Structure 1
Amino acid sequence: VPVGRIETGILKAGMVVTFAPANVTTEVKSVEMHHTQLTEGGKPGDNVGFNVKNVSVKDIRRGNVAGDTKNDPPVGCASFNAQVIILNHPGQVGAGYAPVLDCHTAHIACKFSELLEKLDRRTGKSMESNPKFIKSGDAAIVKMIPSKPMCVETFSEYP
């Protein structure tokens, strides 16, 4: 019985869902919240458990994202661009730095492969392209490469 929070859309019995980045597809048998079956399904904000057909505990793990197979199914990514702010870090941060990212329930080291641009923290405007390094207090757009497959979405599509 996978457990998770519904971020967007609905989850109900009979739906076919895909787990990413595991790339496992299955049918939802039932959805429950606090051990009570939800006949209408779960809605955004609900923390639910859902029974699925023919999926072993070994097939999926913490950090996987489930989504509607027929409508923009989730997929793993090889890299992604992220807007970051360096809060409290001694010295400078450059390409190659690999902090652990907590994204939904995934907990994965992601390497800064490129520093794409340095931003003004207040306005979000670009201050410098391809900076060599950033330091505490700086905001930047960086290209990140996760050490293990990871599922992320763009904020513009899933705010």
Structure 2
Amino acid sequence: MDVIEGPIREPDAPLRMPITHIFKDMGTVVMGKIESGSIREGVSLIIMPNKAHVKVTDIYTDGEMENKVTYADQGENIRVRLSGIDDEDILPGFVLSSISKPVTAVNEFNVQLQILELLENAIFTAGYKAILHIHSIVEECEIVDLLQQIDPQTRIPMMKPPLFVKSGAVVLCRIRVNNLICVEKFSDFPQLGRFTLRKEGKTVAVGKIIDLSSVA
């Protein structure tokens, strides 16, 4: 235990707190885990993707409204009471973030996928649809284009874009969702850049976001 390194905490990093629950309690209260940065009572923040400016009035830790604090750091699960917004204007998957460097909101992005096991008779190609699960977001998505297949032995991208891939393949592709969602490149914020694709209750692929576009 003595040689295990703890997670690196950067309180001055841009705030990223995906919202998991919203409710009313003497105002609007949101719940979530701080994935990056920190929150301090009285600070002004922004909720994405609806670009709502809010102010933190109270912070509670450990899921209990009795445990009131003035500061919370990366890795903590907290409840935050906000002013300047109604609970009906927030949805699970929205992200509380820094005003100076807000989380990215997109509806298309490039990913690297590891295909696990497709459903019987399914073909993974452009037009394939699945359910995207990323942090607290659950959203229907569509594969827009297959960009490159990666050789499983050498890990080097093949030159010719594939028309389709099978179970076990590693592929670079482009994904589109219907609504703007808050995500980040895996290299910048791993917790907001890794995801799974599920279909009919089964995980068919895991992946990471490598590039963003259609920024709001």
Following TM superposition, by how much is the alpha carbon of 1:93 offset from its aligned partner in structure 2, in angstroms?
Answer: 0.6
User: In structure 2, what is the Cα distance between the partners aligned to 1:44 and 1:75?
Assistant: 19
TM-score (norm 1): 0.91
1:117 maps to which residue?
148
Following TM superposition, by how much is the alpha carbon of 1:124 offset from its aligned partner in structure 2, in angstroms?
Answer: 3.3
Q: How do 1:1-159 residues align onto structure 2 when only pairs under 5 Å count?
A: 1-34=29-62, 35=64, 36-39=67-70, 41-70=71-100, 72-89=101-118, 90=120, 91-121=122-152, 123-159=154-190
Following TM superposition, by how much is the alpha carbon of 1:128 offset from its aligned partner in structure 2, in angstroms?
Answer: 4.2
Following TM superposition, by how much is the alpha carbon of 1:44 offset from its aligned partner in structure 2, in angstroms?
Answer: 1.4
Cα deviation per residue 1:39-77 (whole Å; 9 max; x = unaligned)?
A: 2x111111111011021111111011111112x111310
Cα deviation per residue 1:72-113 (whole Å; 9 max; x = unaligned)?
A: 111310211111111111342100111101100100011110
- Unpaired runs of at least 5, structure 2: 1-28, 191-216
Partner of 1:25, secondary structure, is strand
Cα deviation per residue 1:121-155 (whole Å; 9 max; x = unaligned)?
A: 45532124421111110011111111222111011
User: In structure 1, what is the Cα distance between the partners aligned to 2:114 and 2:52?
Assistant: 34
User: In structure 1, what is the Cα distance between the partners aligned to 2:85 and 2:154?
Assistant: 47
User: In structure 2, what is the Cα distance between the partners aligned to 1:116 and 1:149?
Assistant: 22
Which residue identity is paired with 1:8?
Answer: S
Task: Give the number of the structure whose residues are more often strand, by fraction.
Answer: 2
Query: CA RMSD of the aligned region, Å?
Result: 1.5
Which residue identity is paired with 1:69?
Answer: I
Which residue identity is paired with 2:109?
Answer: F
User: In structure 2, what is the Cα distance between the partners aligned to 1:128 and 1:63?
Assistant: 36
Partner of 2:129, secondary structure, is coil
- Unpaired runs of at least 5, structure 1: none
TM-score (norm 2): 0.68
Following TM superposition, by how much is the alpha carbon of 1:29 offset from its aligned partner in structure 2, in angstroms?
Answer: 1.1
